[in-house]
Amino acid sequence: MLSEESNASEKSCVEIFKYIFSSLDIFLKEIAPNGWGHSDFVHAFHPTPEQQYEEHLRFENNMSSLFKKKKEKEEKKEELSFEEFFAKYPTEEKLINASEEFIYLFGLSMWDIFSDNHEVINKTNQIYDIGSFRGSAGFIADFINQHFPVANARYDYMDFYCGSIWVRSRVNLTIFYEYIFKRLKEQHCTWRYSFPRMYLFNVRKLRDELEAEKPQDIANYNPNKALEEEMERNKQEQESQGLQERLDESYYEALEEAKHKPLPKTVQAYKNIFGNTPDGFPQ
């Protein structure tokens, strides 16, 4: 019978990382038999002109959606053509560093599985908790710096923060995830998926709680001002509650839609190795 879940020690987290990172030279040869520069994965850090242009259009569309109301009042801007884009934003080719780029991409893939609110669980039901979004990014950076140093790089948490979010549209990382899950399965580990969800953090409520702990200045107490402040707090509380309700509604809609969409790459990789979708993913 499994014991109540607890967190594995930091030493255990380092040991599972060592196990997963072992034999990476063999893995590299498997995914890039003709060399890193001739593999699709090189585009993670050296995007093709077409990828750069697509990312530009996607960014512009996202910004337009974000400021939709403002944009509706303005004349619609015409999209830059492929040629116009590169005339306006010329790019310089960067030298390919195979060992650095491979280990960096692998580290980003590790964040996608061990962080992002997901949980890797060992055979004794302990969670390999390597920290928050920032903390886990720092853990990965420190691990690579210490155990797999590369000549021209010294990583910190910003290098791995949010994992592959900036490169996942350029390359298919499924095989990276499969390798990680294969190594975890060999150690009798499993994985719990966390569906993306946004919560509203009420800064004003926290500030009010801190203010309430301070001694009251009875001599300068103003009932009218206190009433105005209370009314303003109630108004902002209602607005915050309404926004959180809309976020919750979007979450449940996305949860339902996920049942009918292709599986995320991490989930598909897990299914390829374990034969089923992970706990936490909507069935």
Q: For residue range 48-87, what is the model confidence (pLDDT) as tens digits?
A: 767 666 765 666 665 565 555 555 545 556 777 666 655 6
pLDDT at 3 over 80: no
- Comparing 30-44, 91-105, 188-202, 225-239, the range with the smallest average pLDDT is 225-239
Band (258; pLDDT cuts 50, 70, 90): low
- Give me the pLDDT at residue 1, please: 36
- Give me the pLDDT at residue 79, please: 77
> What is the pTM assigned to this prediction?
0.72
- Give me the pLDDT at residue 80, please: 72
Give percent of the chain with pLDDT exceeding 70: 60
In DSSP terms, 120 is beta-bridged to: 191
The answer to whether 140 and 109 have CB atoms below 8 angstroms apart is: no
- Give me the pLDDT at residue 165, please: 92
* The two structure tokens encoding residue 283: 């069935």
Q: How many whole angstroms separate alpha carbon 64 and alpha carbon 74?
A: 11
Give the residue with greater pLDDT, 40 vs 151.
40
Q: Measuring CA to CA, which residue among 63, 39, 43 is closest to residue 52? A: 43
Q: For residue range 139-193, what is the model confidence (pLDDT) as tens digits?
A: 999 999 999 888 678 999 999 999 999 999 999 999 999 999 999 999 999 999 9
- Give me the pLDDT at residue 199, please: 43
The answer to whether 101 and 42 have CB atoms below 8 angstroms apart is: yes
pLDDT at 124 over 70: yes
Q: How many whole angstroms separate alpha carbon 272 and alpha carbon 106?
A: 19
Give percent of the chain with pLDDT exceeding 90: 52
Burial (CB < 10 A; 0-12, 13-18, 19+), residue 157, is: middle
Q: Where are the domains of the chain?
A: 6-196+264-274, 203-258
Q: How many whole angstroms separate alpha carbon 273 and alpha carbon 278?
A: 11
Longest dimension (CA), the chain: 80
The answer to whether 204 and 233 have CB atoms below 8 angstroms apart is: yes
Q: What b/e readout covers 159-184, taking b as 16+ CB neighbours within 10 angstroms?
A: bbbebbeebbebbebbbbbbbbbebb
Give the residue with greater pLDDT, 113 vs 235.
113
Q: Give residue 39's region: left, alpha or beta (phi > 0; psi -120 to 50).
A: beta
